[in-house]
Structure 1
Amino acid sequence: MQNEYFTFGEIIRKSTEFLLNKGVSSAKCDSEWIVSHLVKTSRMELYLNFDDLVPQEKISEIRNMIVQRGRRIPLQHILESVQFCDLRLKCDGRALIPRPETERLVEIIIESVGETFNGKILDLGSGTGAIVLALCNQLKEARGLGMDKSSEAISLSRENLCLLGLSARVSFQKFDWMLEDYKQEKVDLLISNPPYLSVEEWKSADPEVNKHDPKDALVSAEGGLAHLRKLLDLSKNALKKDGQIFLEVGMGQAEEVMEMMKDTFYDIENRKDFCGVRRYVFARFC
């Protein structure tokens, strides 16, 4: 391709065709993201300049990234970042890639607690730090603690913390909440997007998920319910009276999780995600 010339329209079309042949369902969108990332412009600007030539020095870089995506390496790992709730977070194989479904969880939490919330937030299984960082970025008086059993995830979340300048109000600590007792101060808000896939669901997931996301961040025993069950038990020591819990759960799990909550929580509710799945369960601690 060194001596070839392509317009933005041509290179997006060729890249899309290549990725579709590799089984990438988001081929056109991913091609646009890769091209816009490398030429440092918006996706909208690409179409405003559809017939302009791609800078010659960028063609081989675009091809290399498209080939990587064709190998089913996640787009976020290729770009080394992810957009989440108006934040740009560093993203790589050390932690689960934050999903759009989890952005909706953040929205639900802010709708519930209000922008004047000034309490303490605990994020269990914090991964990249996306949830607690997004919340504390929008809730200017809130304080946050993210905890994860993975040293690699903690290192990534601390890098994101430094990038966002929230170190005065947010911290991250290594903690295996499936094995260790919670001994920190009680909090006003406990949030978690825990592992909730069964082994069978994980095996049938796309290669981007089961080959590149950490398995421990996805899979839970007891058909995907073990971590959720443990979270509810741990919350008795972690939440203040009338404190709130917000959980992201798997398909078909909401009713069972709500049933588990009945003895220790009140005002138990659930919400659907954009696909109609009952994805979010939240309540107040008695």
Structure 2
Amino acid sequence: MLPDLRGDEVAKTLSSGSTIRQLVEEAAAELRGAGVSDAVRQARDLLQIATRLESAFIFAHPEFSPDESEISSFRDLVSRRSAREPLQQIRGRQEFFGLEYKVTRDVMIPRPETELIVEEGISLLSGVANPSVCEVGTGSGCIIVSLLHGMPDAIGIGLEKSPDALAITLENAVSNGVVERLELRESDVFGALKQGESFDLIVSNPPYVPLEDVSSLQPEVRDFEPQMALTDGGDGLGIVEQIVNEAPAFLKAGGHLLLEIGFSQSPAVLRMFDPGIWSKSGAFADLQGIPRMIRASLSAS
């Protein structure tokens, strides 16, 4: 929050301690040296976390000196970011589709391109009464929680192999007010679903990064996000293909499947859909023009 200080009182806070300007400059130099992009902005973000000062105050009062405990905390945060720990994990939260999500090293950090699945899912089910949704691999829960938040009459089941990730999903379902409409199950792909359970929509952001590409990922991703959520340990298409093959057993007639995929994977994934089972399938690009989401609909008959 903003300290309750007038201009003359701000000046009185100056001492032998470091000022905001000095702290940001020193931190930006350290971050830049560690290969962190947009170092000045990230230094200010870290200072805001450490001091709980509003960003407007940090910009307006560069000569203000935080207290020593805040400076110590800030320098610890800078060291963590210099080691390439993601800012979102340091902050402990990330905004997604207008909602706030807790993030830890147990889950993937929600990303803007994944919002495409939420937007398309809400659109597809806009005319369906009391729609049902299943997510394979909930992670933070950002997809299914956002879907349920955007469709107040919807219910969902979230499947997740990692118990630690499932706990984060639960926290985010509670904090975003959808927990009463979401059932969570520890599950490897569809393993925890029962015969006869079916849904209007199945969604997934599966581990699609080929194992051979993991070493070339940014350190923030490679070293700090769960590998089981990044790669299937093979060509990145193994779990994708399993979902495509097994989803029809759990979709209602005319139901939909939405999958996030990686760069250049759309031709291979589209070939997985049997035209005798699926009525239509297609790839949709993200804001950068990269085919990022596959949408397929089960035949109505």
> What TM-score, normalized by structure 2, do the two folds share?
0.86
Q: Aligned pair 1:53/2:58, yes or no?
A: no
**1:60-75 equivalence runs, <5 A:** 60-75=72-87
Deviation at 1:172, TM superposition (A): 1.2
Name the structure 2 match of 1:240.
252
**1:19-98 equivalence runs, <5 A:** 19-44=31-56, 46-47=58-59, 49-56=60-67, 57-98=69-110
Deviation at 1:68, TM superposition (A): 0.6
- Whether the 8 Å contact between 1:243 and 1:284 is mirrored in structure 2 is yes
Shift in CA distance, 197/39, structure 1 to aligned 2, threshold 3 Å: same
- Whether the 8 Å contact between 1:116 and 1:141 is mirrored in structure 2 is no
Tell me how far apart the structure 2 counterparts of residues 101 and 131 of structure 1 sit (CA, whole Å).
11
Deviation at 1:187, TM superposition (A): 0.4
Tell me how far apart the structure 2 counterparts of residues 81 and 283 of structure 1 sit (CA, whole Å).
32
Q: Deviations over 1:187-241 (max 9, x none)?
A: 0000000000111111111121121111111112441100110001110111111
Percent identity of paired positions between Structure 1 and Structure 2: 28
Tell me how far apart the structure 1 counterparts of residues 124 and 25 of structure 2 sit (CA, whole Å).
43
Q: Aligned pair 1:193/2:235, yes or no?
A: no
Q: Deviations over 1:99-136 (max 9, x none)?
A: 22212332232334338763011010111111101111
Tell me how far apart the structure 1 counterparts of residues 25 and 108 of structure 2 sit (CA, whole Å).
30
In structure 2, stretches of 5+ residues that fail to align are 1-14
Q: 1:17 aligns with which of 29, 33, 43?
A: 29
Name the structure 1 match of 2:272.
260
Shift in CA distance, 250/121, structure 1 to aligned 2, threshold 3 Å: same
- Whether the 8 Å contact between 2:116 and 2:293 is mirrored in structure 1 is no
**Superposed CA RMSD:** 2.2
Deviation at 1:3, TM superposition (A): 4.4
Q: 1:183 aligns with which of 191, 194, 197?
A: 194
Tell me how far apart the structure 1 counterparts of residues 42 and 120 of structure 2 sit (CA, whole Å).
28
- Whether the 8 Å contact between 1:116 and 1:139 is mirrored in structure 2 is no
Tell me how far apart the structure 1 counterparts of residues 291 and 54 of structure 2 sit (CA, whole Å).
34
> What TM-score, normalized by structure 1, do the two folds share?
0.90
Tell me how far apart the structure 2 counterparts of residues 246 and 42 of structure 1 sit (CA, whole Å).
39
Tell me how far apart the structure 2 counterparts of residues 181 and 220 of structure 1 sit (CA, whole Å).
19
Q: Aligned pair 1:4/2:42, yes or no?
A: no
Q: Deviations over 1:17-48 (max 9, x none)?
A: 2111101124233223222233335545533x
- Whether the 8 Å contact between 1:182 and 1:234 is mirrored in structure 2 is no
Q: Which amino acid aligns with 2:93?
A: S
Shift in CA distance, 117/102, structure 1 to aligned 2, threshold 3 Å: farther
Name the structure 2 match of 1:123.
135
Deviation at 1:242, TM superposition (A): 0.4
Deviation at 1:186, TM superposition (A): 0.2
Name the structure 2 match of 1:271.
284
| Higher deviation after alignment, 109-118 or 240-249 | 109-118
| Higher deviation after alignment, 238-247 or 137-146 | 137-146
In structure 1, stretches of 5+ residues that fail to align are none
Higher Cα Rg: structure 1 or 2? 2
Q: Which amino acid aligns with 2:271?
A: E
